[in-house]
């Protein structure tokens, strides 16, 4: 069992949870994820690390209650325990050597992208962090990002915090201003990542996107997390979750995602089919 040490609501939709998992905390790196299960009857869901403390032996996860399991998870309290908390899974984000980076988070993707921004900044990289939200009430980690970035740009749909507009508008503006990025990382809804990649492609900027398709076991056995990258299908859980954004077939990813939305709706109504469409990881 894995004890829950802290639970905090960051906004009406998003919860931060600190879980004691000493062995995972020693090994996990930015970009990797865990598979958790609340109890023996529960489904396994993937959640990406937001932070870790190897000395304290804890992992921090941030999630949005959009599916049956995360709705249950959001009701848990400090002192409760999780049945399974397996990891680290997936590959760490390739960050070595970057000198000028732009990390882009859409909605809950901001929490998932934060470890990469923090690592880059702490290792001497100039880091712009661009985040996008529907409104000011949903903005995440503003103070933490200020502490671990060279520049933070917040975009909201209604202009209630930061600038009004899309993250791609802010990215294009920074490029037009002369920002000479050697790395762009985007985490968030698939449609957002698609247009981030389209923005950087004409400039030849290395661009990683973090994909979150259907994932059941986290080891590649189920085959549900296939992502078309170039001319081949790769598994997000073992080959990713980060892929070259200029090679990912985003339209294929969106079509596959739509296939599983009815399953998630059934699960919320108490008729779980055991398939998890990945939405808990990013709140797409």
Tokens of 264: 């998630």
Residue set of the binding site for [2Fe-2S] cluster: 222, 225, 237
Q: Say if residue 156 is in the same domain as residue 231.
A: no
pLDDT-flagged residues of the chain (< 50): 271-284
Averaged confidence pLDDT in the chain? 90
Closest by CA to 203, choosing from 169, 180, 220, 187, is 180
Q: Does residue 282 lie within any of the structural domains? A: no
Q: Last residue of some domain: 210, 228, 248?
A: 210
Half-sphere exposure of 204 (CA within 13 A, CB side): 0
Is 284 part of a structural domain of the chain? no
Domain endpoint, select from 160, 176, 210: 210
- Domain membership of residue 16 (yes or no) is yes
One domain for residues 67 and 30: yes
pTM score of the predicted model: 0.88
- Cβ atoms of residues 103 and 97 within 8 Å: no
- CATH for 46: 2.40.30.10
Domain co-membership, 43 together with 6? yes
| Residues 16, 18: Cα–Cα separation, whole Å | 7
Residue 278 lies in a domain: no
Q: Are residues 47 and 114 in the same domain?
A: no
| Binding site listing for FAD | 62-64
Decide which of 89, 110, 144 is a domain's last residue.
89
pLDDT of the residue at 212: 81
Please give the C-alpha separations between residue 241 and each of 32, 59, 78, 119, 245, in angstroms, as whole numbers.
Answer: 8, 19, 30, 18, 12
Bridge-based pairing of strands 45-53 and 242-244 is unpaired
**Structure token digits, residue 149:** 């970035």
Binding-site residues, please? 62-64, 222, 225, 237
Residue 281 domain flag:
no
Based on the fold, state whether residues 189 and 109 are members of the same structural domain.
Answer: yes
């Amino acid at each position: 069992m894995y004890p829950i040490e802290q639970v905090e609501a960051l906004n009406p939709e998003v919860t931060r949870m600190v879980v004691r998992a000493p062995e995972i905390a020693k090994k996990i790196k930015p970009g990797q994820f865990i598979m958790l299960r609340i109890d023996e009857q529960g489904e396994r869901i993937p959640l990406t690390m937001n932070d870790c403390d190897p000395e304290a032996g804890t992992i921090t996860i941030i999630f949005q209650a959009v599916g049956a399991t995360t709705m249950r998870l959001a009701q848990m309290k400090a002192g409760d325990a999780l049945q399974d908390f397996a990891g680290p899974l997936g590959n760490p984000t390739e960050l070595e050597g970057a000198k000028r980076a732009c990390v882009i988070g859409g909605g809950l993707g901001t929490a998932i992208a934060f470890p990469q921004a923090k690592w880059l900044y702490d290792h001497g990289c100039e880091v712009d962090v661009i985040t996008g939200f529907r409104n000011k009430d949903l903005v995440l980690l503003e103070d933490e990002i200020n502490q671990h970035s060279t520049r933070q740009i917040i975009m909201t749909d209604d202009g209630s915090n930061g600038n009004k507009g899309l993250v791609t508008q802010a990215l294009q503006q920074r490029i037009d201003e002369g920002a000479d990025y050697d790395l762009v990382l985007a985490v968030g809804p698939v449609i957002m990542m698609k247009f981030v990649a389209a923005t950087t492609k004409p400039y030849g900027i290395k661009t990683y996107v973090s994909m979150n398709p259907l994932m059941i076991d986290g080891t590649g056995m189920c085959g549900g997390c296939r992502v078309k990258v170039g001319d081949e299908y790769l598994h997000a859980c073992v080959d990713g979750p980060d892929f070259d954004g200029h090679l990912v077939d985003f339209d294929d990813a969106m079509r596959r995602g739509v296939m599983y939305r009815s399953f998630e709706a059934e699960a919320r109504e108490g008729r779980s089919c055991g398939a998890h469409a990945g939405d808990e990881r990013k709140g797409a």
